[in-house]
């Protein structure tokens, strides 16, 4: 059997891996927070576009949990944790039409990424009925 050769595009030598982050969360924990705090919780943690995306699903909790885990992973890749004035809604995870998640930053998160030379994030999110996990890579030109 012939094997296909994987051809990689030439890499931009100035772009490097600056940080990585991962997070896992129990979906039941997110469900409890939604039950206890309802809209206040949702609007504090998620952007209107994220709420609309998750709300479209028959079982939205794993999708909310996935975005929660993604935001935690992004902060770890940024190297900040919940410091530097970053709010939950300064991080937004939206899906491309084909399903690929994309990261968008605002306010303090944008400033901090620029200080570190981060140009983009690569993010992967997965969930089951009980757990959601995310992995983030920060790519750019370190400063």
Whether the model pTM is above 0.85: yes
Provide mean pLDDT across the span 10-17: 72
Confidence class for position 128, pLDDT limits 50, 70, 90: very high
Higher-confidence position of 80 and 101: 101
Confidence class for position 80, pLDDT limits 50, 70, 90: confident
**Range 16-140 has CATH code 3.90.470.20:** yes
Report the alpha-carbon distance of residue 136 to residue 2 in Å, rounded: 34
Higher-confidence position of 90 and 4: 90
Provide mean pLDDT across the span 110-123: 95
Catalytic residues: 76, 127
pLDDT tens string 61-75: 999 999 999 999 999
The per-residue pLDDT for 120 is: 95
Provide mean pLDDT across the span 48-58: 96
């Amino acid at each position: 059997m012939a094997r296909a050769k994987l051809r990689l595009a030439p890499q931009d030598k100035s772009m490097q891996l600056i940080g990585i982050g991962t997070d896992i969360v129990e979906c039941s924990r997110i469900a409890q927070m939604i039950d206890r705090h309802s809209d206040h919780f949702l609007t504090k943690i998620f952007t209107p576009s994220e709420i609309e995306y998750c709300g479209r699903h028959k079982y939205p909790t794993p999708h909310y949990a996935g975005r929660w885990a993604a935001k935690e992973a992004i902060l770890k890749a940024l190297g900040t944790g919940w410091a530097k004035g970053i709010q939950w809604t300064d991080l937004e995870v939206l899906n491309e039409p084909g399903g690929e998640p994309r990261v968008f930053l605002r306010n303090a998160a944008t400033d901090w990424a620029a200080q570190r030379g981060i140009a983009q994030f690569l993010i992967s999110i997965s969930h089951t009925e009980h757990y959601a996990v995310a992995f983030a890579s920060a790519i750019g030109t370190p400063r």
